[in-house]
Amino acid sequence: MARAIHRASPRANKPFVPVNCGAIPPELVESEFFGHKKGAFTGAIAERKGHFERADGGTIFLDEIGELPKAVQVKLLRTLQENEVTPVGSSEARKVDVRIIAATNRTLIDEVAAGKFREDLFYRLAVAIIKLPPLRERAGDIMLLVDKLLDHVNQTGASIGIKHKKLSTAAKNLMHQHGWPGNIRELLNTLHRAAVWTDDDVISLETMRDAILVAPRAHRGGCDILERPIDGGIPLESLMAEVARHYIKRALEHTHNNKTQAANLLGLGSYQTLSNWMSRYEIEG
């Protein structure tokens, strides 16, 4: 998404510099961001530009910004306010013109409340917020992504002797039904595995089943609807209603409220049968 924003903007012909904030050792964050002068610290054998200067005129993408140490958050805030950086070991500030895009898997407002992220930096960054739903919440995107990513797999696989692959209808259906807890990275890696594991031109249902890695139930936090403790009793009727409401709403969303198509997806036979189920479980539509 960050690259798409950059490419669609007037800065498209300028640098795009992605930075994984969680992968930089704490003692090197300041140098990585703002650069350093020769001799500024042990190992600084030459002057080096930081990420902000390298991104001058373009976009810097700060991935996992919630991982930044608070000491660096102060200096990042000054950079955003003054549009300048001061390399480690230098007393002279250098002007930069950089668009900031930041991402995190944390809820930063909660981090602010817990004192782990600076409030002033949060409000300086939170000018425009884009929430990217997990793949499981946008099932309509899955097959579009599968087609695009399979093209990528075929292009990269050709260089190492992997045949051009297609997906069988059954394999596509399985991919559409999977929850994709690992989102698009999981989807891409699954396609890679399936392409590598079969010599056939068409990826079969069996190959796709083998390629999808399912985490053991013990790692899911014990919340699976089929694994709830039974010693205190099970409200079977309400559980069945919960499942029905969940999948009916998903099917209607996926088909843009086309009841005939939704009924087919749910194996209900006709739109009238679906309407009866919707009435039973008080679902509007």
Residues 187-213 have pLDDT tens digits of: 999 999 999 989 999 999 999 999 998
Position 221 pLDDT exceeds 50 = no
Residue 230 lies in a domain: yes
| Claim to verify: residue 23 and residue 116 sit in the same structural domain | yes
Relative to beta strand 59-63, strand 99-103 is parallel
**Reduced to 3 DSSP states, what percent helix, strand and coil does the chain have, rounded to the nearest 5?**
50, 10, 40
| Claim to verify: residue 16 and residue 68 sit in the same structural domain | yes
Relative to beta strand 166-167, strand 202-203 is parallel
The DSSP letter of residue 88 is: B
| Average per-residue pLDDT for the chain | 87
* pTM score, whole prediction: 0.65
Beta carbons within 8 Å of 54's beta carbon, 6+ residues apart: 15, 17
pLDDT > 70 in the chain, percent: 93
Position 223 pLDDT exceeds 60 = no
| Claim to verify: residue 118 and residue 169 sit in the same structural domain | no
Position 232 pLDDT exceeds 80 = no
Per-residue pLDDT band for 152 (boundaries 50, 70, 90) equals: very high
| Torsion region of 24: left, alpha or beta (phi above 0 gives left; psi -120 to 50 gives alpha) | beta
Q: Which domain holds residue 33?
A: 2-125
User: What total of structural domains would you count in the chain?
Assistant: 3
Beta carbons within 8 Å of 264's beta carbon, 6+ residues apart: none
Q: Is 168 exposed, middle or buried (0-12, 13-18, 19+ CB in 10 A)?
A: middle
Q: Return the CATH number at 154.
A: 1.10.8.60
pLDDT > 90 in the chain, percent: 44
Three-class DSSP category at 19:
strand
Per-residue pLDDT band for 222 (boundaries 50, 70, 90) equals: very low
Residue 267 lies in a domain: yes
Q: Which residues pair with 59 in a beta bridge?
A: 16, 99
Per-residue pLDDT band for 216 (boundaries 50, 70, 90) equals: low
| Claim to verify: residue 37 and residue 93 sit in the same structural domain | yes
The distance between the two most distant Cα atoms of the chain, rounded to a whole number of Å, is: 77
Position 104 pLDDT exceeds 50 = yes
Residue 23 lies in a domain: yes
| Claim to verify: residue 144 and residue 239 sit in the same structural domain | no
Beta carbons within 8 Å of 31's beta carbon, 6+ residues apart: 40, 41, 44, 48, 50, 88
The whole-angstrom separation of Cα 231 and Cα 149 is 46
pLDDT tens-digit map of 122-144: 999 998 889 888 888 888 899 99
Mean pLDDT of 108-120: 90
| Claim to verify: residue 166 and residue 264 sit in the same structural domain | no
End residue of a domain, out of 78, 97, 125: 125
| Claim to verify: residue 170 and residue 262 sit in the same structural domain | no
Position 214 pLDDT exceeds 90 = no
